Amino acid sequence: MNVLIVDDYKTMLRIIRNLLKQLGFNNVDEATDGAMALQMLRVGTYGLVISDWNMEPMTGLQLLREVRADPKLKPVPFIMVTAESKSENVIAAKEAGVSNYIVKPFNAETLKNKMTSVLGDF
Amino acid sequence: MSGKGVDRDLELRLEVIRREHGDTVHVDQIGEVVRSLLDSIAGDISAGDLRLYREVESLAQYIHAAREEIAALRPGDIKHRFIASATDELDAIVGATEAATNEIMDAAESLESVTSSLESEAADKLAEITTRIYEACTFQDITGQRITKVVKALKDIEDRVEGLVKMFGAEYEKEGAAKDKPETPPSDQDLLNGPQLPAAAANQADIDALLASFD
């Protein structure tokens, strides 16, 4: 399965890529903002999106809304990984159709649990 | 004197001031405008006018004192030296932590690459350790975002100070800038500058050269 990870911090992309590799996911692509991710999603085939929220020019929330508004992309599981931890953020993400929500800083166990709840056992 | 008569008289006086100063008056000129208004009513002062005079005079004094206090804050220094320096330092922190995190990640990835050549138990242990290192490295993202928020807050303060400087006149900015150069040799306290920013920092070779220049 191809996984798209989206974050404007290259170090965070590297960390998530390494954690995914340890979980057995080797087909991982990276995008550094929502607009770039949307473009990649429209031309590629992905089974999961793991995205940061706070990015420019397109935020993770805007990306999520675009994904859910696109009939082809709508079913793709979308996990938000962000430092935005206010309840209003979580509610907004849920209303936009997020599959799960991870608050930074996070550990490998949390990532694994959230992925399992979204994808089932892998 | 009827109310209408007073209004008309005042209107005439204001028209004279308007001709001299225009429709808008810089804060610096308020005192002068008030004085010229008061001069124009000299010899024609009632008890009510006198009260008004006192009120206006105290207002002018208040504005003058506020102006002096703002000048004492040296807004030019705040904008050009303190805030600029603080944002540079914060940018340096982000840069240094990012570089250090990447070094740590390089080392962790090298360690992880060894796992394939190890026995199962040792490989699992090593994988667990590298996972913990990766997890710990997420601090860089969080601190980076926090520092970005602080930089934005400083920028907001800078904009407000700039607005204050513009309102009270450009000379305040100059006053601040003129005091940038120390007039006396630095005190012991002045020498406590902390780490230098990378662009301005002297390396060991520079230090050695400087020391050698004393020989």
* Predicted pLDDT at B1: 43
Say yes or no: B173 and B80 in one domain.
yes
Does the residue B168 lie in any domain?
yes
Say yes or no: B10 and B65 in one domain.
yes
Say yes or no: B24 and B61 in one domain.
yes
Does the residue B134 lie in any domain?
yes
Say yes or no: B68 and B103 in one domain.
no
Does the residue B192 lie in any domain?
no
Say yes or no: B120 and B131 in one domain.
yes
Please name the amino acid found at residue A17: R
- Please count the structural domains in chain B: 2
pLDDT averaged over chain A?
A: 94
CATH number at residue B163: 1.10.287
Q: Which of B20, B42, B72 is the last residue of a domain?
A: B72
* Predicted pLDDT at B133: 95
Test B131 with A22 for CB contact under 8 angstroms: yes
Q: Which of B126, B141, B143, B145 to mutate to test the interface with A (most CBs of A within 10 A)?
A: B141
Does the residue B202 lie in any domain?
no
Say yes or no: B163 and B98 in one domain.
yes
Per-residue pLDDT tens over the stretch A99-116: 999 998 899 999 999 999
DSSP per-residue string spanning A35-101: HHHHHHHHHS--SEEEE-SS-SSS-HHHHHHHHHHSTTTTTS-EEEEES---HHHHHHHHHHT-SEE
* Predicted pLDDT at B170: 59
Closest CA to A58 of A13, A14, A8, A94: A8
Does the residue B110 lie in any domain?
yes
Does the residue B184 lie in any domain?
no
Contacts of A7 in chain B (CB under 8 A): 141
Closest CA to B95 of B213, B208, B171, B198: B198
Say yes or no: B168 and B98 in one domain.
yes
Would you give the DSSP letter of residue B28? G
pLDDT, mean of each 10-residue run, chain B (215 residues): 58 79 73 73 70 87 84 78 87 90 94 91 93 92 89 89 74 53 70 73 79 82
Using CA atoms, how far apart are residues A14 and A27, in angstroms rounded to an integer? 13
* Structural domain harbouring B146: 75-178
Say yes or no: B7 and B32 in one domain.
yes
Residue A84 pLDDT exceeds 80: yes
Q: Which of B72, B103, B131 is the last residue of a domain?
A: B72
Test B105 with A54 for CB contact under 8 angstroms: no
User: Is some CB atom of chain B closer than 8 A to the CB atom of A113?
Assistant: no
Say yes or no: B92 and B111 in one domain.
yes
Q: Which of B72, B93, B116 is the last residue of a domain?
A: B72
| Residue B57 Cα to chain centre, angstroms | 33
Say what the pTM is: 0.67
Per-residue pLDDT tens over the stretch A29-77: 999 999 999 999 999 999 999 999 999 999 999 999 999 999 999 999 9
Does the residue B201 lie in any domain?
no
Q: What is the SS3 assignment for B48?
A: helix
Domains (range + CATH), chain A: 3-105 (3.40.50.2300)
User: Is some CB atom of chain A closer than 8 A to the CB atom of B112?
Assistant: yes
Closest CA to A104 of A51, A49, A46, A25: A51
* Predicted pLDDT at B2: 44
Say yes or no: B123 and B155 in one domain.
yes
User: Is some CB atom of chain B closer than 8 A to the CB atom of A108?
Assistant: yes
Say yes or no: B83 and B68 in one domain.
no
User: Is some CB atom of chain B closer than 8 A to the CB atom of A54?
Assistant: yes
Say yes or no: B55 and B124 in one domain.
no
Token pair 């601190």 in the structure block, residue: B143
Closest CA to A37 of A75, A97, A78, A1: A78
Test A11 with B102 for CB contact under 8 angstroms: yes
Using CA atoms, how far apart are residues B145 and B52, in angstroms rounded to an integer? 55
Residue of A nearest to B145 (CA): A83
* Predicted pLDDT at A70: 97
